[in-house]
């Protein structure tokens, strides 16, 4: 059974708060996401913003809430983004130790064979992204996270569900801003793919 960290509020100063009270191993979830701001942009469903520069903090002494705090003066903020441009992928990112591998991350994605759906074997992020781009979306895979994407697998380990941005569904940004957003996500993705620890 999976638990997810849903957004419980988005405050006036644009902080996004995720509740992990239902997680069995909260300390593992906190450790898993502490550097995720370097690797993935985050989308606020309520504010319809995409943030590229933000910090991850805890709200309470007992660490039941994770706070995404956007950088106040950052230029890496895109507003009025419709949620229809943020698409679920079914791709999951796990800590490598969960599969007894000495790597930061391993990923799985849904595979369908006839009427049967199952998950792929654990793959490196680079291998997984190559397969997704080549066989499924046939375009750049632009990963992003949003409310509820931090989850727990069988009360054992945290994982992230990835969404992706469909640039073609964003019609309120200039071509320049769209290109800057794409480059921002690809730059972060490059760090994701090359992270050693």
For residues 59 and 44, is the Cβ–Cβ distance under 8 A? no
pLDDT (0 to 100) of residue 143 = 96
Rounded Cα distance, 65 and 9, in Å: 11
- Number of domains making up the chain: 1
Per DSSP, the chain holds a count of helices (H) and strands (E) of 3, 15
Range of the domain at 5: 1-197
pLDDT (0 to 100) of residue 42 = 95
Give pTM, 2 decimals: 0.88
Tens-digit pLDDT string for the chain (197 aa): 565 554 444 444 567 888 888 899 998 999 999 889 999 999 998 889 999 999 998 876 667 888 888 887 778 889 999 999 999 999 999 999 999 999 999 999 988 777 888 888 999 999 999 999 998 888 899 999 998 899 999 999 999 999 999 999 999 999 999 999 999 999 999 998 888 77
Query: Is beta strand 143-145 parallel, antiparallel or unpaired with respect to 41-44?
Result: parallel
């Amino acid at each position: 059974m999976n638990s997810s960290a849903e957004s419980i509020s988005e405050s006036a100063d644009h902080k996004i708060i995720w509740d992990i009270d239902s997680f069995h191993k909260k300390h593992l979830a906190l450790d898993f996401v502490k550097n995720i701001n370097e690797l993935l942009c985050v989308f606020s469903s309520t504010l319809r913003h995409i943030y590229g520069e933000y910090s991850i903090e805890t709200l309470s002494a007992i660490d039941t809430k994770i706070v995404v705090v956007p950088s106040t003066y950052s230029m890496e903020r895109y507003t009025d983004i419709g949620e229809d441009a943020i698409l679920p992928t079914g791709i999951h990112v796990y800590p490598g130790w969960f599969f007894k591998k000495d790597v930061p991350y391993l990923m799985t994605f849904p595979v369908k064979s006839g009427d049967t759906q199952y998950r792929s074997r654990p793959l490196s992020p680079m291998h997984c992204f190559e397969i997704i781009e080549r066989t499924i979306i046939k375009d750049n895979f632009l990963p992003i996270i949003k409310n509820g994407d931090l989850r727990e697998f069988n009360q054992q380990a945290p994982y992230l569900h990835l969404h992706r941005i469909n640039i073609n569904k964003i019609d309120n940004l200039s071509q320049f801003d769209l290109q800057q957003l794409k480059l921002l996500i690809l730059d972060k993705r490059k760090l994701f793919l090359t992270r050693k620890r």
